[in-house]
């Protein structure tokens, strides 16, 4: 009886150990360097969490979503900084520009996992960042 109990416990421990060993690893943060500045960004889920963009007008930029969900931007000579408006996101869904060489905007669209919705923010060549995020 004792041998049988020991055998059962051994099997259960082996199965439990296998379950622990085969569990999905925790999400890992990603280091990304752009224009010589390194940032730590969330492990991509559905959409990328960091992206470089070459614009037709103005300086090129990189964008990133931190593990804390803050939205960051950098360009040559400008270290990573959060985009104004206090937005939080889970991924970058689209980057685009609009306008001409004299007046243009750089736009970022981000995705919010909890709601499945998208929010947008624009940087204008004459005034800088819009004051807040808008649903798009």
Per-residue pLDDT reduced to its tens digit, 87-106 = 999 999 999 999 999 999 99
Q: How confident is the model at residue 15 (pLDDT cuts 50, 70, 90)?
A: very low
Nearest to 99 by CA among 123, 71, 75: 123
Q: In whole angstroms, what is the distance from residue 128 CA to residue 93 CA?
A: 21
Nearest to 115 by CA among 83, 87, 81, 84: 87
pLDDT computed for residue 122 by the predictor: 97
Give the tokens for residue 2. Answer: 């004792």
For the chain, the average pLDDT equals 84
> Looking at the DSSP assignment, which residues form a beta bridge with residue 81?
73
């Amino acid at each position: 009886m004792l041998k049988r109990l020991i055998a059962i416990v051994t099997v259960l421990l082996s199965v439990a150990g296998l379950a622990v060993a085969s569990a999905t690893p925790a999400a890992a943060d990603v280091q990304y360097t752009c224009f010589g500045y390194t940032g730590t960004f969330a492990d991509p889920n559905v959409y990328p969490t960091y992206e470089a963009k070459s614009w037709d007008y103005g300086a090129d930029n990189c964008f990133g979503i931190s593990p804390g969900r803050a939205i960051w931007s950098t360009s040559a000579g400008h270290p990573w900084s959060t985009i104004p408006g206090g937005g939080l996101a889970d991924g970058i869904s689209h980057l685009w520009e609009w306008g001409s060489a004299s007046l243009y905007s750089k736009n970022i669209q981000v995705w919010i996992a909890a709601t499945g919705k998208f929010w947008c923010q624009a940087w204008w060549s004459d005034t800088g960042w819009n004051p807040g995020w808008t649903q798009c």
